[in-house]
């Protein structure tokens, strides 16, 4: 049965599951009390989708917040991610159970492969099985390039529903956006606000649009993501911003305004490049068993 997220806009994934178009990210919330408070606040404000990962080391805090939120599990969409060190068929099954235990859940709405390194194909086979057993409602990936998506597609029996990638007005990945769309994969931007990048949040063109719409620059950026058809997951530990970032359903950007935001693309990442061998090596040697 389809969940109802209090009437919020949803995006239908390629397997028919609906995901709220706006969710709440919890990267860089290593302070567990801060994370728990932020997630409780987010759910109180109205967010119904939470995006965590085992590497964020805060799944236990997210689990507590879910318990304390007063909102039924069935009305929430919970995503977590498999860490690189846990790739491989058997390892993935163990890591998935650890994630469930930490979150105090008996299923995940979405489980994503965090980076396309190591034995991610073995991991995907495990995800497909967990999906067919109903323990995960939708499976997807993060940081996959077109080449990695093609490699996955050639082996997979279940296609990913989402590709979560760095994407914000300064770095729009238009070619990958198109590939995702043509393959029925929803684009989910990470760092949708450029991780709070000041150049972006102080951009003069965005300020003009914000003033005209009586909104903040952050709200304009998040609205742009929604109107592009992306599934967006801003992060904040600040109660007023958690509220502000949710308040984006009551205005529209014109096509002209959308084009102004599109024109800000510099083609330069602010973060890690999935194709960088040094980064890949660092990830493959990162801490195990988390």
Q: Which residues are catalytic?
A: 56
Q: Report the distance separating Cα 103 and Cα 83, nearest Å.
A: 16
Only one residue has tokens 């919890």, namely 26
- Three-state DSSP class for residue 186: strand
- For the chain, give the number of residues: 290
Binding site for ligand NDP (CB under 6 A): 25-28, 51, 114, 142-143, 164, 190-196, 201, 216, 218, 233-238, 241, 244-245
CA distances from residue 279 to 39, 80, 159, 273, 283 in whole angstroms, order as listed: 30, 22, 26, 7, 6
Q: Return phi, psi of residue 108, to 5°.
A: -110, 145
Give the residue with the Cβ less far from ligand NDP, 4 or 33.
Answer: 33
CB 135 within 8 A of CB 108: yes
Q: Helices (DSSP H) in 104-145: which residue ranges?
A: 120-132
Give the residue with the Cβ less far from ligand NDP, 45 or 237.
Answer: 237
Closest residue to ligand NDP, judged by C-beta, is: 25
Shortest gap between Cβ of 288 and ligand NDP (angstroms)?
Answer: 18
Shortest gap between Cβ of 14 and ligand NDP (angstroms)?
Answer: 19
Give the residue with the Cβ less far from ligand NDP, 88 or 140.
Answer: 140
Give the residue with the Cβ less far from ligand NDP, 120 or 190.
Answer: 190
Nearest alpha carbon to residue 10 among 103, 92, 77, 100: 77
Shortest gap between Cβ of 225 and ligand NDP (angstroms)?
Answer: 10
Shortest gap between Cβ of 98 and ligand NDP (angstroms)?
Answer: 18
């Amino acid at each position: 049965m389809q969940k109802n997220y209090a009437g919020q806009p949803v995006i239908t994934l390629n397997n028919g599951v609906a995901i709220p178009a706006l969710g709440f990210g919890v990267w860089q919330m290593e302070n567990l009390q801060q994370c728990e408070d932020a997630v409780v606040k987010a759910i109180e404000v109205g967010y119904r989708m939470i995006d965590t990962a085992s590497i964020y080391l805060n799944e236990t805090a997210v689990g507590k917040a879910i318990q304390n939120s007063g909102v039924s599990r069935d009305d929430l969409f919970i995503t977590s991610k498999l860490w690189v060190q846990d790739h491989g068929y058997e390892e993935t099954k163990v890591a998935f159970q650890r994630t469930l235990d930490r979150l105090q859940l008996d299923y995940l709405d979405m489980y994503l492969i965090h980076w396309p390194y190591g034995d991610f194909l073995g991991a995907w086979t495990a995800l497909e099985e967990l999906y067919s057993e109903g323990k995960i409602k939708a499976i997807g990936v993060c940081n996959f390039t077109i080449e990695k998506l093609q490699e996955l597609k050639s082996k997979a029996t279940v296609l990913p529903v989402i590709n979560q990638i760095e994407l914000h007005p300064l770095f729009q990945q238009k070619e990958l956006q198109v590939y995702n769309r043509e393959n029925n994969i929803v684009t989910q931007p990470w760092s949708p606000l450029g991780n709070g990048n000041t150049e972006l949040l102080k951009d003069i063109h965005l300020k003009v649009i914000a003033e005209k719409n009586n909104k903040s620059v952050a709200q304009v950026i998040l609205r742009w993501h929604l109107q592009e058809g992306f599934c967006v997951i801003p992060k904040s530990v600040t109660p007023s911003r958690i509220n502000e970032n949710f308040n984006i359903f009551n205005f529209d950007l014109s096509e002209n305004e959308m084009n102004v935001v599109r024109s800000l693309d510099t083609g330069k990442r602010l973060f890690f490049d999935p194709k960088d061998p040094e980064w890949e090596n660092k990830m493959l040697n990162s801490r195990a068993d988390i």
